A and B are shown apart, each in its own frame.
Chain A
Amino acid sequence: MGTLAVIAIGIFVRQSHYDPALFVPRVLEAQAPGEGVPASLASSDFSGFVPEQLSALSPLEAFGPETLSDKIDGKAELYLAAGFLGLRCQRFGEPLDPQSWMEVFVYDMGTLYQAFAAYGSQKREEATPLDLTPFSYKTRNALFWVHGKYYVEIIASAASKAMMESMLAFGRKFVSKTSVEEHGLDELALFPGDRLEEGSIALLISNAFGFSGLKNCFTARYHVEGGELLAFLSKKEAPEEAERVVKAYHAFLLENGGTSVPLSTDLTSGALAEILDTFELIFRHGPYVAGVHEAPNRKAAEKLASMLDRHLAEAIR
C-alpha cells in the first residue's frame, strides 16, 4: 500500500508540471541554400526547363485563388482581378554558389488576354524588350513574359550575367515545350503606330479609370503636342452598347467634378470633360468605345482622338 501511495504521489507531482510545448511539432531550423538540402528533390513540373547547371532549392509550390496571398500578400489582388487561376513557383540555384539563385513564378491566368493584363499592369520602366515571345522583356535581374494563358516571372537573387543566361535558357525551353492555344491580340493593331510609346500597350480587365462600366479596356501611351497621353479603346458586343458606355462614362466624369467642354473635332458621340486640371475625351467608333485619358490640354486630347478615330476606320474597314 505504501508503494501504491508513493506511485500516486509521484504521478500527481509529475502532472502538475505539464509543459504543452513538449507536445507540439518543431519547425525546421533555417537553412542556407546548399546546406542540408537533399541532393535530389521531388519531381517538378519545371524539370524539363531547368538549365543543367542549376538544381532545385525548394519544392514546387502551388497556390490557388484562396491561397495566393499566402505567397504574394497584398499583390494578390492584382492577379485575382485579372482572372487568376493558379500559381506554381520554385527556386533553383547553383550548387557551388549559394548566393546565386532564381525563383520562377508561373501564373495561369486562364486566357491570353488575362495574362496580358497581368503583364501590362506591372511593366517596369527599365524594360528591355526580348524576342522570347511577342510580350516579353527583361530588367537587370528578372525576366517577364506572356505565353498563351501563362504570365511568367523569373526573379534572380543578383543582377549577374550568369543568372540572366540561366533565366533566358529556362524561358526558351518553357516557351518551346509548353503548347498554348492563343498567340496574338488583334486589338493591338487598332492603335496607330505614329508617336506610340513602344511596349506601352496594356489591358485593364475591369474598373478602368475607376469606372465600373469600362472593362477589357486597352490603353496605349502617346507623345503628342509635347505631352504624354493615354489612348484607350474597348470593344463592345454592339454599337448600341458602346453608345451606352460612352454616355455613362461621360456622366460619371461630370458626377465626379468634371465640366463638360465643347468638342471642336468631329467624333461620333464624342464628349470632352475637364476634370482635375486634365482633359478626358471619349467617343464611339462602331462597336468600340475609345478615347483619351488625362490629357494635359484640350488640343492634345482632340488630336490624339482624331488619330485614333482615323486609324480605327482603316483598321476595321
Chain B
Amino acid sequence: MTRREFLIRSAKAGACVAAATGLGLSLYDSKAPQGSQGKKTLVTLPDFSVAGRVGQMSIVTGEDRVKTVQRALKTLGGIEAFVRPGDRVVVKVNAAFATPPILSATANPELVAEVARLCFRAGASSVTVTDNPINDPASCFTLTGIAQAVRSVGAQVVMPREGSFKPTTLKDGALIKDWPLFYTPLEAADRLIGIAPIKDHHRSGASMTMKNWYGLLGGRRNLFHQDIHNIIKELSMMVSPTLVILDGTWTMMTNGPTGGSLADLKQTNTMIVSTDQVAADAFGATLLGKTVSDLPYIGKAQAEGVGQSDYESIKPFRDHVG
C-alpha cells in the first residue's frame, strides 16, 4: 500500500465512522419512554346521543328486571332505535364495590346481560362492559356477578389498566381539568349506555345515572368528595350518553352507597330508561323519598342545560309488566 492509498482509505473509514456516529445521534432519545400518559394530549368524549331522541323517557313497573327493561326500551322504539348494525357499544355499569348482587350496591348482572344481549340482537359488532371501580376491579366484576353474566352473552369486560387513562379537561369546568379519564374502552365506541341502581349516598344524597360517570375518572378522584354536587354536575356535562338505564327494582334507601344489609333495601319495582339523565335522576329521587331540592346536583346539571328535572314535562311513557 502506498502512502496515498493509506490516506484515501483512512479518509473513507473516518467518513463511515462519522456517518455512523451521526446516524446514531439522530436516533438517540434522551428521554425514557413515558407510556401512554406521558403525552399531554387532552382527550374529549364524543357526543354519543342519538339525533332526534332528546328528552325521551320510559318508566316501567314490575318485579322482573329483564321484562321491565325490555318493555321500557320497546316504548322508546326498541333498542334498534339507539343501536345500529355494526355499532361498537360500551356499557358503563356501576361496579364500584365487591359486593353480591342481592345488596343492590352495583348494577344487577341479569340486567346488564340483558342489555348486552339486546344490543347484539340489534346488530352491535361488540359490547364492552366497563367501570373503574372503587374496590379491586377483578373482585368487583367477579363478586357482583357482572363478569360471568355478560360473558355468557358474548360481551367483554374491560377493566382499567395503567395505560387506560388519558387526561381530559371539561370546557367551562372548574374541577375536571387535566384529569385522568378512563378512556381506552370509549376510544372507538359508537354508543354509550349507562346502567346504575338507585342508591342513597352519604355524601351526595343519592347515587344514580349522573354519579355513575364517576367511574370514568382516575387519579385521586375522592378529592372531589369535598365538592360532590359540582363534580356530579361536571360529569353530566362531560358525558352525553346514548341512553341511561336507572334500576329501581330494589332501591337502597339508607346507608348508601355501600349498604350491606338487606334491611337497607326497599322493593320499588321500577325501571327507568331515558335519553335525559337529569330527568331520570329526578324521577329516581322520588323512589328514595327525596325531592330535587334534596339533591342539588340535579338543579346544577339542569342549569347547565344537561337535561330537564321536571320529568313530567317530557311526557314519559308509563307501563307495567305483570
Contact = CB atoms under 8 A, between A and B. Distances in A.
Nearest to B23: A8
Contacts of B148: 32
Interface string A125-166: 111000000000001111010000000010101110000000
B134 A73 contact: yes
B160 A74 contact: no
B228 interface: yes
Interface stretch (B55-63, B166-174, B257-265): B257-265
B302 interface: no
B261 A24 contact: no
A127 B135 contact: no
Contact of B138 (A4, A28, A70, A72): A28
A101 B38 CA distance: 41
Given A77-B203, A139-B263, A159-B102, 13 more contacts: A8-B27, A15-B27, A20-B36, A24-B163, A27-B160, A30-B141, A33-B143, A70-B134, A70-B222, A74-B202, A75-B257, A101-B100, A142-B260
Contacts of A127: 263
A237 to B, nearest CB: 31
Interface string A272-305: 0000000000000000000000000000000000
Contacts of B20: 4, 8
B33 interface: yes
B260 A153 contact: yes
Of the four ranges (under 10, 10 to 19, 20 to 34, 35 or more), the interface on chain A belongs to: 35 or more
A1 B138 contact: no
Of the four ranges (under 10, 10 to 19, 20 to 34, 35 or more), the interface on chain B belongs to: 35 or more
Given A70-B134, A139-B261, A24 B161 contact: yes
Contact of A159 (B98, B159, B162, B262): B262
Nearest to B102: A158
Contact of B202 (A15, A30, A77): A77
Interface in B86-139: 96-100, 102-103, 134-135, 137-139
Contacts of A126: 261-263
A127 B222 CA distance: 31
B136 to A, nearest CB: 9
Contact of B222 (A69, A124, A139): A69
B44 interface: no
A155 B33 CA distance: 45
5 contacts: A20-B163, A30-B141, A33-B143, A139-B263, A157-B102
Contact of A21 (B36, B98, B141, B255): B36
Give 7 nearest A-B pairs by CB, closest first. Answer: A74-B203, A124-B263, A126-B263, A157-B100, A24-B162, A139-B263, A30-B142
